[in-house]
Amino acid sequence: MSELRKHYFLDNYCLIASGRSKRPSAPKACGDEEKVTSCVFCNGHENETPAATAVYKNGEILKDTDNQRVTGWDVRCIPNLYPALSPEAPDVQHPLFEVMKGYGFHEVIIENPLHESKLSNFSDDELFLLMKVYRDRVMHYQSQERIEYVSLFKNLGKNAGASLEHTHTQLIAVPLIPVTIKKEKKAIEELKSCPYCDIIKKEQGKERMVYENENFILIAPYYSRSPYEMWMLPKKHLHHISVFNEQMLMSLGDCIRKAVSLLEKTIPELAYNYMFFQTENDRSYHFNIRIAPVTSIAAGFEKNTDIYINTIPPETAVKHLLEKE
Amino acid sequence: MSELRKHYFLDNYCLIASGRSKRPSAPKACGDEEKVTSCVFCNGHENETPAATAVYKNGEILKDTDNQRVTGWDVRCIPNLYPALSPEAPDVQHPLFEVMKGYGFHEVIIENPLHESKLSNFSDDELFLLMKVYRDRVMHYQSQERIEYVSLFKNLGKNAGASLEHTHTQLIAVPLIPVTIKKEKKAIEELKSCPYCDIIKKEQGKERMVYENENFILIAPYYSRSPYEMWMLPKKHLHHISVFNEQMLMSLGDCIRKAVSLLEKTIPELAYNYMFFQTENDRSYHFNIRIAPVTSIAAGFEKNTDIYINTIPPETAVKHLLEKE
């Protein structure tokens, strides 16, 4: 079982999760070297995973039971077999130090039943469904008792921390507001207007803009910690995916597909993470997604100073990304 | 040339350094696959690097000239050929955003003339000399105009960001106090006593202590972000390497060697970073070194929340480290 340990004197937490050391690594479980024969995320292998918490099929939302798995699904949400946090976490004590029990939820969203499917090839309908699933699952966990934040993220490629190859997104619901969000909220409180609205004003139509559609803008931010980092922002000031209507969800899906497609065309053996930043109750926050391809290593200098060395200026990154279009 | 770009609205900086994309990568320049024939850090290859800023030889400190390189050295300090920052940085402007020119220094400390040398095999004398070099070079750069912080760190192994194999440490002198140090200083200010002195009190002789000598203690911290992370702390409250006497330097070298040796015995294909945390003028800070082997990847969850998932509790890590003794 896991525990959330607080730093000796800073407002930071780490998650000690010894159970996760048993999880499979990509090449063994689902590698392309030895031709995939048994990926547990694939269509037809539903019995090899825990029972699904939500199965999207032909416009309906179903559930597995312990004895009966839904087959022929479009998107399938299952508990992570090696959860970082668990709803049944036992209490834990360290007399001299601060700790919270590892209470929470860890879910895998299998985006498509086919092993070879890729986000960049998703149809508009498939993307729209996936965005609806993102919205549903975030709202579901956000409403659970004692859950303060739902982290939604995708790891693609072994270098980005993915342990399975089949296209999937993860969701970890935690009983605290992470320091990343707290820090931004505090800075925003001290400002008079939304800094993200200001970013849109400054970057839209300029050299660091990569793409825009009706509702979203995609930029390589002025402050870029790593090569080809991109941010997606809704043009309207909206704080959370729960307030997105269908048009917004469609635009969001389109923007994610565009970002991923451009990266695929530009970076060989692409690995990336994308992360949703949002707040449930604080309307002063501006929803955003950051996508970071893994092309470099955070080494001693970064770990010492938190100053990231980026060898490709965002202005150059945009040129590279758009010349392949 | 490089530039320090400030985040749109947070007190964070990134370093845009396009010149560094040309640096060699380990396997090409200095790999063990194609038997090393020409490592530029090796004894006898002094002409293939920039002129040394300090050469330690038989108890003396010498300097290269453009025409004449010192040979037969013990430790050699040279400017990084692909510097992240430079003393001749030109001014840079981004009308809408905050930026500092990339002023600073980037030095490589070649710890030993022999290619196959390893810190874990250094004699007491070699370690003592290296610690003196660390102290000298940090003090030298800390005294330069407009330098606010000197980051001293070691990257070992390709997975830890090292681009050359020959044993070396790096130093980057920056014109600002990094956010990592600022944040700790602020937290310490708000406390009544030194939190690091308190850590020593709580961890010394207990299950997370790995080693201690006369002046230093080595622990696997309660708050461990990654497997086998260790912290080295002087038992006395001292803020900076510049105030270490010879006994302290000897103890420090011994503690570093112990940490590295234990990791080598425990982790196959070891890669690690160690970083010096210290403040020049603020005596309320407590000098410390953190050593972090690279055994896992910071993925989407970590990038979203800054909560690191660690699959090996520090108490277990200590058992693994000490059972190989």
SS3 annotation, A259-299: HHHHHHHHCCCCCEEEEEECCCCCCCCCCEEEEEECCCCCC
Of A154, A300, A310, the CB nearest to B155: A300
Query: B183 to chain A: nearest residue by CA?
Result: A10
Q: Catalogue all structural domains in chain B, each as residue range(s) with its CATH number.
A: 2-176 (3.30.428.10), 184-323 (3.30.428.10)
Place of tokens 């199965």: A55
Is ipTM > 0.90 here? yes
Considering only CB atoms, which chain B residues are within 8 Å of A151? Answer: 300-301, 304-305
Of B9, B151, B276, the CB nearest to A187: B9
Of B4, B172, B191, the CB nearest to A9: B191
Q: Can you say whether the dihedral through the CA atoms of B110, B264, B307, B233 is positive or negative? A: negative
Of A7, A154, A300, the CB nearest to B273: A300
Per-residue pLDDT of B163-212, as tens digits, reads: 899 999 999 999 999 999 999 999 999 998 999 999 999 999 999 999 99
Considering only CB atoms, which chain B residues are within 8 Å of A20? Answer: 309, 311
Per-residue pLDDT of A193-239, as tens digits, reads: 999 999 999 999 999 999 999 999 999 999 999 999 999 999 999 99
CA distance B278 to B292: 17
Interface test with B, best of A4, A219, A267, A301 (most B CBs within 10 A): A301
pTM beyond cutoff 0.80: yes
Half-sphere exposure of B118 (CA within 13 A, CB side): 12
What pLDDT sits at residue B1? 79
Residue B306: φ, ψ to 5°: 60, 20
Query: A176 to chain B: nearest residue by CA?
Result: B305
Considering only CB atoms, which chain B residues are within 8 Å of A309? Answer: 14-15, 17, 20, 84
Bridge partner residues of B154 (DSSP): B274
Considering only CB atoms, which chain B residues are within 8 Å of A274? Answer: 300
Across the interface, whether the CB atoms of A8 and B222 are under 8 A apart is answered yes
CA distance B78 to B166: 14
Query: A1 to chain B: nearest residue by CA?
Result: B311
Is residue A35 scored above 60 in pLDDT?
no
Per-residue pLDDT of B68-103, as tens digits, reads: 999 999 999 999 999 999 999 999 999 999 999 999
Considering only CB atoms, which chain A residues are within 8 Å of B195? Answer: 8-9
What pLDDT sits at residue B23? 59
pLDDT band at A120 (very low <50, low <70, confident <90, very high): very high
| CA distances in angstroms from A163 to A25, A158, B138, listed in the order given | 5, 6, 41
Of A96, A303, A311, the CB nearest to B21: A311
Across the interface, whether the CB atoms of A8 and B199 are under 8 A apart is answered yes
Considering only CB atoms, which chain A residues are within 8 Å of B296? Answer: 161
What would the mean pLDDT of B285-306 be, rounded to a whole number?
97
Is residue A38 scored above 70 in pLDDT?
yes
CB pairs under 8 A between A and B: 219
Residue-averaged pLDDT of chain A:
94
